[in-house]
């Protein structure tokens, strides 16, 4: 990490000393919330005391006989391992970034361990089990979607990749699947603001994309998409958005607060957004002061009723192919009840399946989210099941498959029928 001379860093307040590191001059200090540690000399340990109240690189240079380059070299292992953290980041780093989940998709991996993987994964799933932005029940979405995904046989690093996955729906088989990891669920400490949690989401997006990994977020209400889009805009590259929803989600809040109904307002201010295509809209709206549907040629839509009469190719034909796309899916675009803001009608399962098949095969995807699945406690959650299927279609969109003409002999069993 490049440390600017005037940026204030502070010693992380919950560090732990590894008892196994006793002996010699080195002591291992760990940040258990980030899963990182570093062996320090007595001199480096003194630096931790120096930074307890906050200090800068310039302060270190002034208080020692080190020049700026040597001081930077001394501090880098401490900042890279989150032993020292920027003072303005301490609030959102204090409880860690993500927590492990019981049923991960693929291999569970800490976001701080991405560089330790033997092979760079193609996709990283993470959950945001929170509905603080206004949709009750959406906090159960990540668990419900993950419970649906194992049925699709996503395999982890340790699995035998030579096994065949049979897809009877699309009459194909896969001899290999893209590598998928699960970063767990974004942490939440009671009382935290949306902005604090949003910084954790932005961190996950930044760390995955920096390594060429496509982030896949499972929500949670749609407010969290705002932070992903803001991070994409900050990256400085042009992109488009394919947005599935019953609502356009550009309703201004009277008090200027972020919520699930205005998550796409902020990204309209970015010149890096080149097109926003919304699929599945079907609400009524009065042309009152809350309306913002005017004057932006980048915004286009296909209503649910019209999309059901068109091919997937025709629905998406107007979108340029020379930019990458972010896909944002709100399950209320579908004809399902397991969502926080249901609207009568919507796309059918097969409408959505054809669209996601086409998107996965033909578009360059830089990230996606799957939001607002609810229906907690139901024995069969159709919203979660179709969401899991569409997520799967994005993952395998460009993966080689073979026609499934017969399956006898492909299924191994140790028992007679």
**One digit per residue, pLDDT tens: the chain, 417 residues?**
678 889 999 999 999 988 776 566 788 999 999 999 999 888 788 889 999 999 999 999 999 888 889 989 989 999 999 999 999 999 999 999 999 999 999 889 999 999 999 999 999 999 999 999 877 889 999 999 999 886 554 554 455 545 678 888 899 988 888 999 999 999 999 999 999 999 999 999 999 999 999 999 999 999 999 999 999 999 999 999 999 999 999 988 878 899 998 999 999 999 999 999 999 999 988 766 555 556 789 999 999 999 999 999 999 999 999 999 999 999 999 999 999 888 999 999 999 999 999 999 999 999 999 999 998 777 789 999 999 999 999 999 999 999 987 765 555 555 544
| Rounded Cα gap, residues 51 and 103, in angstroms | 39
- By the 8 A CB rule, do 181 and 121 touch? yes
- By the 8 A CB rule, do 201 and 217 touch? yes
Domain boundaries, the chain: 9-92, 95-403
Q: Where are the beta strands (DSSP E) in 87-161?
A: 98-99, 107-108, 123-128
DSSP-assigned beta bridge partners for residue 77: none
Burial grade of 157 (CB within 10 A; 0-12, 13-18, 19 or more) = middle
What is residue 151's predicted lDDT score, i.e. its pLDDT? Answer: 59
Overall pTM surpassing 0.85 (yes/no): yes
* Exposure string over 339-373, b if 16+ CB within 10 A, otherwise e: bbbbbeebbeeebbbbbbbbbbeebebbbbbbbbb
Neighbouring CB atoms inside 10 A of 280's CB total: 30
- Closest C-alpha to 357, from 215, 172, 180: 172
With left for phi above 0 and alpha for psi between -120 and 50, is residue 125 left, alpha or beta? Answer: beta
Tell me the residue length of the chain.
Answer: 417
- Closest C-alpha to 84, from 109, 59, 114: 59
What is residue 285's predicted lDDT score, i.e. its pLDDT? Answer: 81
What is residue 7's predicted lDDT score, i.e. its pLDDT? Answer: 94
Domain 95-403: assigned CATH number: 3.40.800.10
Angle at 113 between CA 109 and CA 119, to 5 degrees: 80
What is residue 23's predicted lDDT score, i.e. its pLDDT? Answer: 60
| Rounded Cα gap, residues 405 and 292, in angstroms | 51
What is residue 93's predicted lDDT score, i.e. its pLDDT? Answer: 96
Q: Are strands 239-244 and 214-219 parallel, antiparallel or unpaired?
A: unpaired
What is residue 379's predicted lDDT score, i.e. its pLDDT? Answer: 75
What is residue 136's predicted lDDT score, i.e. its pLDDT? Answer: 81
Looking at residue 359, the DSSP 8-state letter turns out to be: H
What is residue 3's predicted lDDT score, i.e. its pLDDT? Answer: 86
């Amino acid at each position: 990490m490049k440390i600017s001379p005037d940026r204030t860093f502070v010693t992380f307040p919950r560090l732990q000393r590894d008892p196994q590191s006793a002996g010699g001059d080195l002591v291992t200090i760990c940040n258990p919330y980030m899963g990182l540690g570093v062996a320090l000399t007595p001199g480096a340990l003194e630096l931790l005391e120096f930074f307890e109240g906050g200090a800068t690189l310039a302060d270190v240079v002034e208080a020692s006989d080190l020049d700026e380059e040597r001081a930077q070299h001394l501090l880098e292992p401490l900042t890279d391992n989150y032993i020292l953290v920027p003072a303005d980041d301490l609030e959102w780093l204090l409880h860690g970034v993500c927590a492990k989940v019981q049923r991960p998709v693929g291999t569970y991996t800490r976001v701080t361990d991405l560089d330790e993987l033997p092979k760079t994964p193609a996709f990283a799933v993470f959950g945001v089990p929170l509905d603080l932005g206004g949709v009750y029940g959406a906090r159960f979405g990540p668990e419900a979607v993950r419970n649906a995904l194992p049925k699709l046989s996503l395999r982890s690093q340790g699995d035998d990749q030579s096994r065949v996955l049979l897809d009877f729906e699309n009459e194909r088989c896969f001899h290999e699947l893209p590598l998928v990891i699960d970063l767990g669920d974004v942490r939440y400490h009671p009382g935290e603001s949306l902005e604090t949690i949003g910084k954790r989401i932005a961190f996950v997006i930044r760390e995955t994309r920096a390594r060429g990994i496509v982030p896949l977020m499972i929500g949670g209400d749609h407010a969290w998409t705002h932070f992903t889009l803001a991070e994409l805009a900050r990256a400085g590259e042009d992109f488009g958005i394919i947005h599935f929803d019953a609502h356009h989600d550009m309703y201004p809040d009277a008090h200027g607060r972020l919520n699930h109904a205005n998550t796409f307002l902020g990204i309209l201010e970015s010149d890096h957004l080149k097109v926003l295509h919304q699929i599945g809209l079907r609400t009524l709206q009065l042309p009152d002061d809350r309306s913002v549907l005017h004057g932006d040629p980048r915004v286009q839509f296909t209503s649910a009723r019209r999309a059901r009469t068109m091919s997937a190719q025709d629905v998406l034909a107007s979108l340029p192919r020379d930019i990458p796309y972010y896909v944002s899916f709100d399950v209320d675009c579908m004809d399902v009840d397991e969502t926080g803001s249901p609207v009568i009608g919507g796309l059918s399962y097969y409408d959505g399946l054809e669209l996601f098949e086409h998107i996965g095969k033909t578009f360059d995807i830089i990230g996606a989210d799957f939001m607002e699945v609810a229906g907690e406690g139901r024995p069969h959650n159709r919203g979660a099941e179709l969401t899991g299927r569409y997520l799967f279609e994005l993952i395998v969109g460009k993966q080689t498959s073979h026609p499934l003409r017969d399956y006898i002999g492909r299924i191994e069993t140790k028992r007679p029928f």
